[in-house]
Structure 1
Amino acid sequence: MSNYHSIDGMSYALEKQKARARRSKRIVIATIAGVLVLIAVGVTAGILVSKNNSKSSTTTGTKSNSKDPSNFTKDPRLHKSFYGLAYTPEGSLMPNCGNSLDHVIKDIQIISQLTSRIRLYGADCNQTALVLEAIKQTKVDVEVFLGNYVVATEPTAYERQRNTIKDAILTYGTDHIAGITVGNEFMLNYVTLKQSLDPNGPAGIEGAAILKGDIDDTRNMLTSLNLKKNIPVGNSDAGSFFNKDILASIDYGMSNVHAWFANTTAEGASAWVNEFFQESNLKPAAALPNQPKMYIAETGWPSASSDVANANNGGSDASIAGLQTFLDTFVCEANQNGIGYFYFEYRDEEWKDIQYGGVEGHWGLFNKDGTFKDITIPNCPAP
């Protein structure tokens, strides 16, 4: 299929999106169960974050000086060719918060050789402070779109993360903060839970009212801090699940656009992503009075599947070859066209593979153990 405007392609992609929504719901349940655990862990991590120092790392050939994380050897295989990367520090999923400043520093040292921008999905497990502290210690040119993972069934999730983000801003300032993204696939999760596929229907209007309240509250929080720098407030969702009222109330939108779930070939994936993003996101946003800046929040190609049934999407295999094809056809062209995108993702996430199987844990440029996959990074400077 070439685009979402095909009925069969639309149905296939939406079924995949609904499956991701069901997975998100299970994540939500785990999050609720771990609130009390987070409080204790967050307090402890907050105390320790300024005391930890980076240990040596040999991941991808990058080595750091244990006494000075800003002194590390660059890996010649890496190029700063990505506009941005989707990133979640390992061990940042409640209730099993197991991230650490040491690990985040190692990640930031590598990420800084690939891009100058990252996006986070949430603020739990102290990840906001850890990332900003790592940037401070490594002294790299990286800015962060902070995230607040809004959960409709657990209102305190937003409030808890808002307070964590506020504390991080007060501690680290705004120099490395590019924006705050309120909600990730919130509308997708909300309307599909209500057995709907229309983000502007009755269920969508209901969900948008919840989300807009949180967006407005985030703006009020920023206003109360009397910051010298204006921090944009945005929202991220599946590409076809943006609510019109939400788009009209944000500074920027981040759209998840995955050609894999639309039954495309690896060779045709880049063209499909560009066409979808242009027609479904850029044009509608440009027609609004506020004209929110639109980014591709996620796009990529899986390098493997943990089971045979999901190893082919109907167009191409999940493979290293497919990943390389997508990198070669998407990255430099997107850079040349000035498209803001966040490649999905930095590293394979093992917990997704364990819980969901298929291709879910195999989207990274790096393996779960931090080793570089057998790929070549395009060499074309990002805008």
Structure 2
Amino acid sequence: MEGKRHGGQEEEVMNNKNLHKVFPGMDYTPLNSQYPDCLHVPPSQNNITRDMAVMSQLTNAVRLYGTDCNQTAMVLHAMDRLKLTDMKLWVGVWLGNNQTTNDRQVAHFWEIIDNELAAKKSLDRFKGVIVGNEVLFRKDLSETTLLKNITDIKKNLTDRGHTLPIATSDLGDNWTADMATKVDVVMSNVHPFFAGVEVGKAAGWTWDFWTTHDVALTANNKSISQVIAEVGWPTGGGNNCGEGTCSSSNQGSVAGVTELNEFMEDWICPSMKNKTEYFWFSAFDEPWKIQYNEKGKEWEDKWGLMDVNRNLKKGVTIPDCGGETV
């Protein structure tokens, strides 16, 4: 993946007939963008530019999870280089249980805002800001502290004379009606795989869970949007039976290419028709997540439509929705 990218190669990458722009959003973590590892092996602009070329054939909106390792600036540079005028970026501000990390992320965020205003005179390339991902699920911060981070960023943006939709993302069942009033967008990670749902029922389960647990929270407030921040299916690594035990009569969620294809077939085109907003998790495998695999549960690094070399996985079929695009 390293080395100079020539125009012909980029053109080839951007014309893959097996990719279809049917995803309203795509979750993205660039290679080598984990701190402090990136101080020794930093992310490559060439790799990120290639990734954005690939994702531009899948979506018009990309979500980042954090600001470390200069990833946001490199994604914006790729958008410029590839002339992706329709592409919008959701900036991610990672929050955890380490205040030094949180301060660094927020400081980087303001640098990104200031640099964008200096270069472009507007924030038009940003679709919004996601402050924290699964902070409550990990119990890294209290709800009160998380919401203070959100409201501080929102107020500081307003004080500077700018507005961007502000969100946080967490598990769908971690949201409360009160939390929902503190953001512009309720972003819920809804994974049927982790609920142990068999794939034939996964699309319906995802819709029902999201609408009853999350969409219902803001039914009386149309100013607050609802987005599924993560939904997808791993291509390998075992079975997940949720809170139950897998057995010959209960296979639960089976990780595999066949199952991924079935879930995409059931979810993607119907979601386009009913205008469901979501981010697909994800475009590419993330090898750094191997550290989170457990025996018999080796799927953490296998959620990509494409492998780590950015090749569409063998057998994966992205629906073309009859030629319709987002």
| TM-score, normalisation: structure 2 | 0.86
Tell me the equivalent position of 1:319: 256
Greater helix content: 1
Tell me the equivalent position of 1:79: 20
2:177 aligned with 1:244, yes or no? yes
2:37 aligned with 1:96, yes or no? yes
CA distance in 2, matches of 1:286, 1:278: 10
Tell me the equivalent position of 1:64: 10
Check the 8 A contact 2:20/2:325 in 1, yes or no: no
CA distance in 1, matches of 2:10, 2:95: 36
Query: Which one of 98, 106, 111 corresponds to residue 50 of structure 2?
Result: 106
CA distance in 2, matches of 1:309, 1:343: 20
* CA RMSD, 1 decimal: 2.4
Describe the shift of the 1:231–1:175 C-alpha distance in structure 2 as closer, same or farther (beyond 3 A). Answer: same
| Alignment-mate amino acid for residue 49 of structure 2 | I
Tell me the equivalent position of 2:304: 364
Tell me the equivalent position of 2:265: 328
Where does 1:210-221 land on structure 2 (aligned, <5 Å)?
Answer: 210-221=145-156
Identity %: 32
2:224 aligned with 1:298, yes or no? no
Query: Which one of 207, 210, 233 corresponds to residue 142 of structure 2?
Result: 207
| Alignment-mate amino acid for residue 144 of structure 2 | A
Shift of 1:55: 2.6
Describe the shift of the 1:337–1:270 C-alpha distance in structure 2 as closer, same or farther (beyond 3 A). Answer: same
CA distance in 2, matches of 1:302, 1:254: 21
CA distance in 1, matches of 2:136, 2:33: 23
Secondary structure in structure 1 of the residue aligned to 2:71: helix
Query: Which one of 260, 263, 277 corresponds to residue 210 of structure 2?
Result: 277
| Alignment-mate amino acid for residue 225 of structure 1 | R
Unaligned runs of 5+ in 1: 1-52, 66-70, 194-205
Shift of 1:75: 0.9
2:92 aligned with 1:147, yes or no? yes
Check the 8 A contact 2:5/2:46 in 1, yes or no: no
Shift of 1:125: 1.3
Question: How many pairs align?
Answer: 303
CA distance in 2, matches of 1:355, 1:185: 16
Unaligned runs of 5+ in 2: 118-122
Shift of 1:362: 0.7
Shift of 1:344: 0.6
Shift of 1:172: 2.5
